[in-house]
Amino acid sequence: MNGGTLTLDYANATTPANGIINGASASPLFFGSGIAGGGTLIALGKATATCSQTFNGLTLSGGGNTISNNVNGATSDTIALGSITRTAYGGNVDFGNSAAAGSITTTAAHTSNILGPWATYLGSDWAATNGSGQIIALSPYTGALPTTGSSASGNYTMGANINLAASESANTLKISTANTLAMGSFSFTVNGIMATAAGTATVTSGGGTIGAGAGNEFVVSSRAAARYHCPSALPQWV
């Protein structure tokens, strides 16, 4: 898929309740072709039916992608992805279920308790998995980002203004309010940041840098109506 939308429509009585696409195919579900790629997969359930679709893996090659499970009154509606392969600097993906009867599963491993900073859930959380391999919103987070003494593997939140008192490291940062991260002369090494609140998340710097470091991928994402602002004291994004 490259820039389009594919809907698996179980609501049509003539379609099967399981496996609209041949899950035994050797080809994985493939999203994107370079940075301009990306697409949307929607599973549309059938009321009172048990629906499922299996894929022989998911490959993220480029673009911003969405995998959405619209339960639509189904007893259950499952998308079984299998493994996830992401090319170097490949695509991002947002997962979501419209109701508790929906389930998107994967066999992919975690990195610091999430699939990666390239994977989100309903645009508001990092994507993780539970013990059954179901993709869910990360919970709990490590806690609020401290002004000093953070963990490089931590998944932190920011719900108020923060003034760094030392250089910090983290796996991810979720900014859930329109507040300011003031770095001063300190640096913040982080693999991914996400803004989820309507309004502006501001990052200021007096010479410090923010990012994953030279040669590493730094993923920045935001929900609709959320945005970032770097005023005249522009931090270096590396």
Judge whether 2 and 38 are in contact, CB under 8 Å.
yes
Q: Predicted confidence band at 215 (pLDDT cuts at 50, 70, 90)?
A: confident
Amino acid 171 reads N
Of the candidates 91, 101, 60, 196, which has an alpha carbon nearest to the alpha carbon of residue 141? Answer: 196
pLDDT computed for residue 216 by the predictor: 86
CA dist., res. 229 & res. 160, Å (int) = 16
Residue 123 identity (one-letter amino acid): G
Q: Of 20-29, 116-125, 207-216, give the lowest mean pLDDT range.
A: 20-29
* Mean pLDDT, the chain, whole residue set: 88
Q: Give percent helix, percent strand, percent coil of the chain, each to the nearest 5.
A: 0, 45, 55
Contacts of 22 (CB under 8 A, 6+ apart): none
Is the pLDDT higher at 237 or at 124? 124
- Select the more confidently predicted residue: 14 or 35: 14
For residue 99, what pLDDT band results from cuts at 50, 70 and 90? very high
Dist CA 105 CA 55 (whole Å)? 10
Residue 73, Ramachandran bin (φ over 0: left; ψ between -120 and 50: alpha; else beta): left
- C-alpha to C-alpha distance for 118 and 67, rounded to whole angstroms: 13
Q: pLDDT tens-digit profile of 101-133? A: 999 999 999 999 999 999 999 999 999 999 999
d(CA 205, CA 60): 34
pLDDT confidence of 228, banded at 50, 70, 90?
confident
| Sign of torsion over alpha carbons 112, 116, 122, 128 | negative
- Whether the CB-CB separation of 6 and 38 falls below 8 Å is answered with no
Average of per-residue pLDDT across 145-166:
96
Q: CB of 59 within 8 A of CB of 38?
A: no
Which segments of the chain does DSSP mark as H helices, in order?
Answer: none
SS3 assignment, position 119: strand
User: pTM (2 decimals)?
Assistant: 0.92
The 10s digit of each residue's pLDDT in 29-69 is 777 655 556 789 999 999 999 999 999 899 898 888 999 99
| Contact between 118 and 86 (Cβ < 8 Å) | yes
